[in-house]
Amino acid sequence: MLPRQYPDPAQKASTANTAAPVGACAQLGGTTAHSTLSVVPCDSERSNVKIIQQVRHPRECVRDADQSYYHNGPDGQWTACLDYAWQTSRCLAISPGKIINVACGDPAIPNKEKPVRVFRNVNHTHDCAQGGFAHPVRLYTICTETQP
């Protein structure tokens, strides 16, 4: 676990019995207008996001969250703030409205990102050879390499 990954670590306990428990991995699917969020095991090939915070409205998510999922249904209104669920042995293909967890060698999916390094206490990607995903509020960066 990364220090400061969870903006409010106490939420790991307080949200444990909810539809989007902080600390869980999930599959964010559907379309931008009609998205779905399903909790799945973190080592699952379906896992593409990690729930880092639960708030009422998307604007309340920590500013450097990678994504958010808004729910307004019979069981209430809430937002799951999300980071990409990086796995050392898998890649993520990230495009607007879609995140696919895929084998890094899969030739059918171009431009996959493989996580190669984590920098703590930095707010940029300058030290990443090929770029990455900075989290300037929580002060860590995931360096990635694009796979063909």
Q: Within a domain: residue 20?
A: yes
* Residue 1 confidence (pLDDT): 67
Report pLDDT digits (tens) over 80-91: 999 999 999 999
54 and 23 share one domain: yes
Express each pLDDT in 30-48 by its tens digit.
988 899 999 999 999 999 9
pLDDT of the residue at 33: 85
Name residues of the chain where pLDDT drops below 70: 1
With respect to residue 51, please indicate whether it lies within any of the assigned structural domains.
yes
Q: Write down the pLDDT at residue 133.
A: 98
Q: Cβ distance 40 to 47 under 8 Å? A: yes
111 and 142 inside one domain: yes
Quote the pLDDT of residue 53. Answer: 97
Question: Up-side HSE of residue 62: CA atoms within 13 Å toward CB?
Answer: 21
Please indicate, yes or no, whether residues 29 and 64 belong to a single structural domain of this protein: yes
Query: Which are the contacts of 12, defined by CB distance < 8 A and separation ≥ 6?
Result: 6, 21, 22, 23
Distance of CA 95 to the CA centre of its chain: 13
Give yes or no: residues 54 and 18 share one domain: yes
Q: What is the pLDDT, as a whole number, of residue 96?
A: 87
Structure tokens at 110: 């171009």
70 with 128, same domain?
no
β-pairing, 76-84 vs 91-95, is unpaired
The verdict on 109 and 79 lying in the same domain is no
Question: What pLDDT was estimated at residue 22?
Answer: 97
Range of the domain at 116: 105-147
